[in-house]
Structure 1
Amino acid sequence: MQESSGELQLSPVTRRRAYQEVVAQIQREILAGRLRSGDRLPGERQLAERLGVSRASVREALRVLEALDLVRSRTGTGPDSGSIIVQQAGGGPSRDLEAGGSLGGVLLMHTALEHFALEEMVEARVALEALSVRRAATETTADHLEVLEDLVVAMEAPGVDPEPFMRLDTDYHLALAGACGNRVVAYVMRSLRSAIDHWMHRMFEHNENWSELRAEVAAEHRSILELVRVGDGDTAAYEVEAHVRKAHERLKA
């Protein structure tokens, strides 16, 4: 094992509880690509000095990162000792700890480290969205339908740009999850969506045929909404799965 060869951009801790800021800075290094799977963190004493915190705060931060399945700590003094950015997510559940951020943040950390493949995120999204529209077809209210209608109408406008369209797209899928009447499903869907936002942004911002893509996505959203409106949950689930998988294919193109 070798210590990360990149120049880590760590700075003295000035806010929050010290160990929480240490966790946040390590997470930022992962997202920026300066820490990768298999990299070894600087030693406890060196981290404490560079961050301007106590070694106790560093130890607490490392415990949180290990609980989040982002690092593995190995005792000893040999070349394999110290804290290593993990190569694979472990079998245990990641904890939604205050220092580690939301479930969406945890998912984002693991996708940044390539623990979770995009295909796995797509399968999870398909399962959640299919469940959402099936339940929404029987559980939705007039208020939910009005919100969804307003979102689709806004997406159908020919002049809408990619950035606002992406926000509308996010709001639409979260509104579908909210319409299903299950708050846990809605929360997990929100977390999953936050973890894939960077992929969605790439799809919308860098598409050469934006006008055509906007019209196609808006039409798919309209069709799903109308199926929910008439209570056809099975067909809505079929269409939302096709919609999500088509988005995945666009990302790979």
Structure 2
Amino acid sequence: MPVEWQPVRQSRTHELVLRSIEERVFAGELRAGDRLPPERELAPVLGVSRSALREALRVLETVGVLAAQPGRGPDAGARIVRNPDDALGRLLRLHFALGSYSLQDVLEARVVLERSSVEAAARHAPAEDLDEAARLVSGMAEPGIGVDAFNDLDTRFHVLLARSSGNALTSTLTSAVRESVRPLILRALEAAEDWPATAQALNAEHRSLLALVREGEGGPAAELVERHIRGLHGTLVEGPVTPEESPGKRP
């Protein structure tokens, strides 16, 4: 029986550079805080052009594992970092905007993540995190607070509770999922017929949620956060993101 040959996939040069750097990270040869050699030294060692190397470094910067500092001196060059939150949030926002995930998908993901977060926070949250959450709740109760400011504090409140769970991955995922619907939440809040009453009702739930976490009542806190999320998500409508609502702009 004759052998069936399949075409060999040709990798672009920058993909080979990425693979080489990834292999060193996986092997533990590169860790957070390590600096890469200067481009003029690294490119010939890898046998690639400096343009191909720069393309690979830009990809790593985008996914949050590299920070590039232009210029000269000891702080210049590319350094391995751990910054998954912004990178993952950006990626998820783009895929959500492109229709990779439905609004219902995002809703259910938020419910699962935040139920788990507040249950764990009720057991593990440091006092300073809960004090910071209380300040955010107070900020959302300020008379005359606008929709933009409220949305920003609201996002920070939910992400802070997730961080207080003690699970860094849960915190990162919660932040990414919450940020993915930030423009839609902003749009829904702007459409509220009585914004002061809406803000007051939402923040009353924040206050109750924080009290339950402080008291170590993880189960009731999980039930409340689910009702809170589903209640707000019920007002969201999928649609194109305008330039003013684009992921690159934080309200």
- Which band: TM-score by shorter chain? 0.5 to 0.7
Task: Give the equivalent residue in structure 2 for 1:125.
Answer: 110
Instruction: Give yes or no for the alignment of 1:148 onto 2:133.
Output: yes
Contact 1:96 1:106 in 2 (8 A): no
2:216 equivalent among 191, 209, 231 = 231
How far apart in 2 are the matches of 1:109 and 1:138? 34
Aligned pairs for 1:177-192 within 5 A? 177-192=162-177
1:207 equivalent among 192, 198, 206 = 192
How far apart in 2 are the matches of 1:154 and 1:96? 30
Change (3 A) 1:97 1:142: closer
Shift, 1:158, TM fit? 2.8
1:134 equivalent among 115, 119, 130 = 119
Instruction: Give yes or no for the alignment of 1:114 onto 2:99.
Output: yes
Instruction: Give yes or no for the alignment of 1:161 onto 2:138.
Output: no
Contact 1:104 1:194 in 2 (8 A): yes
Shift, 1:103, TM fit? 1.3
Shift, 1:188, TM fit? 1.3
SS state of the match for residue 150, structure 1? helix
Shift, 1:96, TM fit? 7.3
- How many residues were matched structurally? 167
Q: Identity of paired residues, percent?
A: 37
Task: Give the equivalent residue in structure 2 for 1:241.
Answer: 226
Contact 2:151 2:186 in 1 (8 A): yes
How far apart in 2 are the matches of 1:252 and 1:242? 18
Structure 1 residue ranges (4+ consecutive) displaced by more than 6 angstroms after TM superposition: 95-98
The farther-off stretch of 211-220 and 150-159 is 150-159
Q: What's the C-alpha RMSD, in Å, of the aligned pairs?
A: 2.7
Task: Give the equivalent residue in structure 1 for 2:206.
Answer: 221
The AA in structure 2 aligned to 1:184 is L
Task: Give the equivalent residue in structure 1 for 2:182.
Answer: 197
Structure number with greater Rg is 2
Contact 2:184 2:237 in 1 (8 A): no
The AA in structure 2 aligned to 1:138 is R
Aligned pairs for 1:89-108 within 5 A? 102-108=87-93
How far apart in 1 are the matches of 2:149 and 2:97? 25
SS state of the match for residue 181, structure 2? helix
How far apart in 1 are the matches of 2:223 and 2:202? 16
Shift, 1:205, TM fit? 2.2
How far apart in 1 are the matches of 2:95 and 2:65? 15
Shift, 1:249, TM fit? 0.8
Structure 1, unaligned runs of 5 or more = 1-18, 20-55, 65-94
Shift, 1:156, TM fit? 1.7
Instruction: Give yes or no for the alignment of 1:176 onto 2:161.
Output: yes
Shift, 1:238, TM fit? 0.3
How far apart in 2 are the matches of 1:209 and 1:250? 14
Shift, 1:118, TM fit? 0.6
SS state of the match for residue 134, structure 1? helix
Shift, 1:252, TM fit? 4.1
Contact 1:151 1:172 in 2 (8 A): yes
Q: Deviations over 1:129-155 (max 9, x none)?
A: 001100000101110110011111111
SS state of the match for residue 216, structure 2? coil
How far apart in 1 are the matches of 2:105 and 2:64? 20
Contact 1:158 1:215 in 2 (8 A): no
How far apart in 2 are the matches of 1:157 and 1:97? 38
